[in-house]
Amino acid sequence: MAVKMFVTDLDGTLLNKEHRISDGNKKAVQEAVDAGVVVTIATGRMYESALPYARELGVDVPIITYNGALIRSAAGKEYFSSYLAEQDCRDILDFCTEMGWYVQLYSDGVLYFAEETPEAQAYEAAAGVRGRSVGRKGLCERCVHAGRDAIDFVLVNSAPISPAMQEFYAAKGAYPVEVDEDALNALGVGFFKADIISETDVLHHDPDKLSRAVMRMIYGLKSNTGMREYYMQDESL
């Protein structure tokens, strides 16, 4: 029977003691991919911690993170997600606090802990992510997960950046960020395009253009009001 898929854990499996992928493992993965085998990752780590390894391997397939609670591709397409109910999260947090155990929480791709303890620092070093110390109350507040529908629409710039300005920023190692429309669509997020930037000695959002674009977006989603004509009067902004 031909092997169609190879799934590997990270810690203690794909990674060495320095939390790196050895050259031998990279070569083995590449040979498997070249042979038509789908290679992916399944880990208890958060997605943001596992993503650099998937990119290092050059595999854009669904990776399994948070012990199966989130399956998302390296490109950002989400296939599955499952979150703890708010009350369950609070009950677990209360129990761990009563037992005097170290506890950390993940919410919307961010690592949180009550305080910067040796345990927190050790996890940050091993996972390659920076956490946030928010106190016991802060952990409780983050038991509420915003969820998939927290963002309905985003506003993105559509105006081109001049070659001179691109050259200016390239000299500083900065480059324009391309809007990934497919990734936004995959997340179920709507988006509006508008010219919202201005160029002076630097590139920045133009407050007037931005405010008009926001109002056009809002009035495009709602029924007409008395102020609609004012905000819609100059479509070039």
- Is the same domain home to 76 and 90? no
pLDDT reported for residue 76: 85
pLDDT at 145 (0 to 100): 61
Q: Residue 237: inside a domain, yes or no?
A: no
Q: Please indicate, yes or no, whether residues 133 and 156 belong to a single structural domain of this protein.
A: no
Report pLDDT for 233: 46
Dist. CA 70–CA 132, nearest whole Å: 21
Nearest to residue 15, comparing CAs of 57, 70, 73? 57
Residues 122, 54 share a domain: no
**Are 173 and 217 within one domain?**
yes
31 and 102 co-located in one domain? no
For residues 107-130, average pLDDT: 89
With respect to residue 18, please indicate whether it lies within any of the assigned structural domains.
Answer: yes
Clarify whether residues 137 and 159 are in a common domain: no
> Cβ-count burial of 174 within 10 angstroms (0-12 exposed, 13-18 middle, 19+ buried)?
exposed
What span, in angstroms and rounded, lies between the C-alpha atoms of 222 and 201?
Answer: 37
CA 203 to chain centre: 25
What is the distance of C-alpha 57 from the center of its chain? 19
What is the band of 151 on the pLDDT scale with cuts at 50, 70, 90?
low
**Calpha distance 58→49 (Å, rounded):** 16
For the chain, what is the domain count? 3
pLDDT digits (tens, 9 = 90+) for 12-32: 888 888 889 998 889 888 888
Domain range for 159 is 151-232
Do 227 and 165 reside in the same domain of the chain?
yes
| Closest listed residue to residue 158, CA positions, set 173, 178, 142 | 178
Copy the structure tokens of residue 132: 């946030």
Between 227 and 182, where is the model more confident?
Answer: 182
The band of 109, judged by pLDDT with boundaries at 50, 70 and 90, is confident
For the segment 42-72, what is each residue's pLDDT rounded down to a tens digit?
Answer: 999 999 999 999 999 988 889 999 999 999 9
pLDDT tens digit sequence for 68-99: 999 999 888 889 988 888 888 889 989 988 99
Model pLDDT, residue 154: 80
Q: Which of 120-129, 131-140, 175-184 has the lowest mean pLDDT?
A: 175-184
Report pLDDT for 72: 92
CATH of the domain at 73: 3.40.50.1000
Q: What is the CATH number of the domain that holds 127?
A: 3.30.1240.10
In sign, the C-alpha dihedral spanning 120, 123, 125, 131 is negative
pLDDT of residue 60: 84
What integer pLDDT is reported at residue 235 of this predicted model?
A: 45
For the beta carbon of residue 5, count every other beta carbon within 10 angstroms: 10
Helix (H, G, I), strand (E, B) or coil at 64: strand
Write out pLDDT tens, residues 201-216. 888 888 788 778 887 8
Q: Is the pLDDT of residue 228 over 60?
A: no
Section 113-117 average pLDDT: 91
Say whether both 163 and 222 belong to one domain: yes
Q: Within a domain: residue 146?
A: no
Across 166-178, average pLDDT: 82
Give kind and range of the element (H or E) at residue 70.
Answer: strand 70-73
Neighbours of 112 (CB within 10 A): 19
Domain stop point among 81, 111, 131? 81
Q: What value does the mean pLDDT of the chain take?
A: 82
